[in-house]
């Protein structure tokens, strides 16, 4: 919580978010959780805790689950991105457009 108050944020990506790697209840401090791809029931439990949500996977590419910090697990779709897409260039372009409109 002190890091959060100081403006520090952690983005963590892992294949298996279990207590072996994330000890002492650190998972409880994660406010945004996204489960990407096909996971086992144990994987969903490690990601979202004990829940009675039925994780029915639709046969749609990019179909995933997310908890945005309010305790409600929702479906969401990740966009398909073509190889060679310039993320940094698009971010810079958006930043420049916002900077121009503010001035």
Burial of 41 (0-12, 13-18, 19+ CB in 10 A): exposed
Greater pLDDT, 27 or 49? 49
CA 40: distance to chain centroid? 17
pLDDT bucket at 89, cuts 50 / 70 / 90: very high
- On the CB side of 83, CA atoms within 13 Å amount to 0
Residue 24's pLDDT is what? Answer: 66
The predicted-structure confidence for 18-35, as pLDDT tens digits, reads as follows 777 777 667 777 888 888
pLDDT of residue 94: 92
**In which domain, by residue range, is 57 found?**
2-102
User: What total of structural domains would you count in the chain?
Assistant: 1
Q: Are 17 and 45 in contact (CB under 8 A)?
A: no
- pLDDT tens for each residue of 53-75: 888 778 888 889 898 888 889 98
């Amino acid at each position: 919580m002190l890091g959060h108050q100081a403006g520090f944020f952690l983005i963590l990506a892992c294949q298996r978010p279990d207590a072996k790697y994330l000890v002492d209840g650190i998972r409880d401090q994660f406010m945004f959780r996204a489960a990407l791809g096909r996971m086992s029931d144990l994987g969903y439990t490690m990601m979202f805790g004990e829940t009675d949500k039925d994780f029915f996977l639709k046969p749609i590419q990019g179909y995933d689950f997310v908890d945005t910090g309010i305790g409600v697990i929702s479906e969401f779709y990740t966009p398909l991105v073509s190889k060679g897409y310039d993320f940094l260039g698009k971010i810079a372009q958006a930043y420049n457009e916002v900077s121009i409109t503010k001035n």
